Amino acid sequence: MTPIDLLIEARWIIPVEPADTTLEHHAVAIKDERIVAVLPIGEARTRFDAAETVPLPDHILIPGLVNLHCHAAMTLMRGLADDLPLMRWLQEAIWPTEARHASHAFVRDGSLLAAAEMLQGGITTCNDMYFFPEATAEAFDRLGLRATLGITVLDFPCQYATDADDFLRKGLAARDAWRDHPLIGFALAPHAPYTVSDKTFERVGALAAELEIPIHIHLHETAGEIADSLRDFGQRPITRLEALGLLGPNLIGVHAVHLAPEDIDRLALHQCAVAHCPTSNMKLASGTAPITRLVHRGLSVGLGTDGAASNNRLDLFREMRQASLLAKLDSGDASALPAHRALRMATLDGARALGLDGQIGSLVAGKSADITAVRIDEPDAFPCYHPVSHLLHVLDRRCVSDVWVGGQQRLKRGKLLQITNTELLGIARLWQNKLRQ
């Protein structure tokens, strides 16, 4: 028998690869943080000698979920301002609060709360965009969350940096400090076309090519953004980015709500990725992204929660469900974005957008053991004919029982292993009192 570190046995496994596959009474064998095999339980027991076996007879195993767009630290502003359109929400509530309170401690503590929420909801990878990325790295490292952290860039001063050069200098220093960490990577994150100049975009594009890292940007989120770009630059934002050389397979356009046919053509031509944030788009009344058209054109479309200040949950189970239902409503086609495809968006497609699909996003031999276990043992979840349908339309994040990142368990029977609820509640109450003042 072959010695391994861990054998996880489950009622069902949905590996994402091969597509449209559900395996019954199978197990995942893990050694040295990687998946060795996915095979029937009986065969696994005779083939492997596991140091630890975890039987999950009433569970579905899926790849760890990938949150393709988040502002983790904004969890401290959850519910601070609701029922406002994007620009009023930013100008009247978010930016003034950040000007008073954003700091290394604010970002570290907000990111701890976010990381805990994400892990408890089955999210094992987060693509984040915020200030003080070194503070986010500290929080995610403590809880063991895999992450790509944005080197945020703006062309105006804020509490973190004075100008675009300062943003880049500080962000690149954070990348250098964390460059050897096995779970932490970095992206360049120019905030949006309406906050970044052509000169800065050109520098971002050159740096992304030199460092071979993604570009993470809010793009075509509102109709107002398009109108302002036509007024100020004489072209739509995607056309402007194409002219500046930023469109490419490493670009992740967040929201991508207001897309004309020529915009979709450009995104497809350059093989860009899109981070779809359906709940945030609805809550801010930004609009409905044309996801079925993007998928049909072959773009990698992942799912993001956005920040808890505009969602107000970091919950990819809800995003999968919302994405599927919105696609059906928008297209008039009940078969649009079926359950297997929505799960792929929340896993493999998000990983591909980050350039991590060789490491994570599906349960196949050779990949990192980023795994989420979902309970299906309550009467309100039965009968169950199609487990993947249940993931979307019946179960929710409260059903997540166990989570592994790189083969290391982070959540066990619903309890985080790296931090207590007492500490998390203390952090939340401390900052709530500060923000109230």
CA count, 13 A, side-chain hemisphere, 424: 19
Distance linking the first and last C-alpha atoms of the chain:
63
Which pLDDT belongs to residue 437?
Answer: 76
- Residue 122 near residue 146, CB atoms below 8 Å: no
Edge to edge, the sheet with strand 34-40 lists 34-40, 23-31, 2-13, 48-63, 371-375, 400-405, 408-412, 415-416
Which pLDDT belongs to residue 112?
Answer: 98
Where would I find the H helices in 50-159? 86-89, 95-101, 104-120, 133-143
Torsion region of 403: left, alpha or beta (phi above 0 gives left; psi -120 to 50 gives alpha):
beta
Measured from the Cβ of residue 209, the count of other Cβ atoms closer than 10 Å reads 14
Where would I find the H helices in 146-304? 164-178, 198-211, 223-233, 237-243, 261-269, 278-283, 291-296
From CA 347, how far away is CA 388, in angstroms rounded? Answer: 13
**Residue-range domains of the chain with CATH:** 2-63+369-406 (2.30.40.10), 65-353 (3.20.20.140)
Spans in the chain with pLDDT lower than 70: none
Which pLDDT belongs to residue 146?
Answer: 98
Which pLDDT belongs to residue 336?
Answer: 96
- Residue 64 near residue 123, CB atoms below 8 Å: yes
Which pLDDT belongs to residue 84?
Answer: 86
DSSP 3-state helix, strand, coil percentages of the chain (rounded to 5)?
A: 40, 25, 35
Which pLDDT belongs to residue 85?
Answer: 87
Which pLDDT belongs to residue 40?
Answer: 98
Closest-CA residue to 145 (of 168, 167, 170, 128): 128
- Residue 10 near residue 27, CB atoms below 8 Å: yes
pLDDT digit string, tens, across residues 66-104: 999 999 999 999 998 889 888 898 899 998 999 899 999
CA 120 to chain centre: 14
DSSP label at 290?
A: -
pLDDT digit string, tens, across residues 175-231: 999 999 999 999 999 999 999 999 999 999 999 999 999 999 999 999 999 999 999
Contacts of 122 (CB under 8 A, 6+ apart): 62, 64, 65, 316, 317, 372, 374, 397, 400, 403
Q: Check whether the bond before 421 is cis (ω within 30° of 0).
A: no
From CA 38, how far away is CA 15, in angstroms rounded? Answer: 9
